[in-house]
A and B are shown apart, each in its own frame.
Chain A
Amino acid sequence: MFIDKPTSQLVAEKSKYAIQLDEQAAQLKGQLLKDIQRSIYVYRIDCGGCNGCEIEIFAALTPLFDVERFGIKVVSSPRHADVLVYTGSMTRSMRVPAMRAYHAAPDPKICVAYGACGCSGGIFHDLYCVWGGADKFIPIDVYIPGCPPTPAATVYGFAMALGMLGQKMKTTHHIQGDDERALLPHPKVPLALRVDVDREARRMAGYLYGNQIAEKFMEIFESDPKHVEQNVQSYLDGQNDPRLTEIMDRLVQIHLNQGEK
């Protein structure tokens, strides 16, 4: 069920083994984050992931996205690395290798938490053997969420770390207004018809396309409740899609049956 923890506590929560940066290292790192524009060497540490993130990292290296045009290169030793990319939910047994890689990389270094697991433990966050994200003890500079992040999201994350692009996400806090209320969708459509149409469309086409089809039907109904059958037919003639025709015909049938009652 739900985790009863305020969000501020979730952010602040860190392991007692967390690595603390000394003043000099922090200053160097700040300078690096500000000035890094040249080629960077990336070392990738899989701390218990499903390999989805690795596939997307290598997809970002393919000619289609080609991160090597920014000088980003994946190296096979942390001793050559400027950037450490932590993927995976940080299992108990990968904790020490992750720390060894961190200490092996020369200072100053940038640490990236990659994927939902690297950022917070992701879907594995409450497993007994999972520490829940690299930031529990590694000082992380850039978080790239996604499950897995697409190659474009990877390119964006690295471009942000290199100072080429700005951050787009911002934390928001909405407080309910005085006369704020949720409006009923399609108030002109009778409730019984709306519910039945929605259910049937979702049953036949799944929630995403079912919703879209039901919305379209409701739009046609609202524009002219008396000539639904003809208007649906003229819409379907333009679409030329037998699956859509089948579903829409069912919805019209539901409408006609309810009209008879």
Chain B
Amino acid sequence: MLKLFREVLKVGTATLPYPFEPIEQMPGFRGKPHHDPEKCIACAACATACPPNALNITTDLDQGVQTWSLFMGRCIYCGRCEEVCPTGAIMLSPDFELAVMNKQDLFERADYRLATCRLCGNYFAPVKEIEYVSALLRQSNIPEDELNNTLSMLEVCPACKRKNDVPKTVNLFQEEGSDVH
């Protein structure tokens, strides 16, 4: 009996004091995805990668708003969003205390403005995404005239690009004298 008590005293308390004291998480623990709305460019890479559709991107072409939303109740903490995010806006934090009494508190939302096409005036892509891409192009070492050409095409929507490209391609073929059909 005394031997047992000695053993118990030697081992001490195994139970963690949580929730009365904070608990330490292991490095690499995947908790709540932390979204930095300032860094986000609303490119929808995370929404495409998200296996359970916890991350959603909805585009309102009438109002010109791209909405990023995260539903924590569906997240499986796989870290795919962190893997694909080009700007590091989403990082999995060690935060695990996510229980709520009200389901609405599980939602996070961010609204981003869409840019209008230079030619047709329709909304087509987030302003921040276009700004980010143009900053990347400026940083890369492509020749001046090529850079200006590419930058001017950044503000054109895909539909207008197609419309412009078809006559150009036809002209190119005709100049070469080959058969377009």
Contacts and interface: CB of A to CB of B under 8 A. Distances in A.
Interface in B97-145: 97-101, 103-113, 127-128, 131-132, 135-136, 139-141
A161 B99 CA distance: 9
Interface residues of A, number: 67
Contact of B56 (A2, A69, A156): A2
Given A11-B107, A65-B18, A141-B101, A126 B53 contact: yes
A191 to B, nearest CB: 5
Given A119-B73, A125-B53, A66 B15 contact: yes
Interface string A189-208: 01110000000000000011
A89 B37 CA distance: 31
Interface in A143-182: 143-147, 149-150, 152-153, 155-157, 159-161, 164-165, 167-176, 180-182
A185 B44 CA distance: 19
22 contacts: A2-B56, A11-B103, A113-B73, A116-B52, A122-B74, A142-B99, A145-B73, A149-B98, A152-B18, A160-B101, A167-B105, A168-B97, A168-B98, A169-B98, A181-B131, A182-B41, A182-B128, A184-B136, A191-B136, A207-B79, A207-B82, A208-B28
Closest 10 CB pairs of A and B: A119-B73, A157-B99, A147-B76, A174-B37, A174-B110, A123-B52, A207-B83, A120-B73, A191-B140, A144-B99
Interface of B: 14-16, 18-19, 23, 28, 37-41, 44, 47-48, 51-53, 56-58, 69, 71-77, 79, 82-83, 87-89, 96-101, 103-113, 127-128, 131-132, 135-136, 139-141
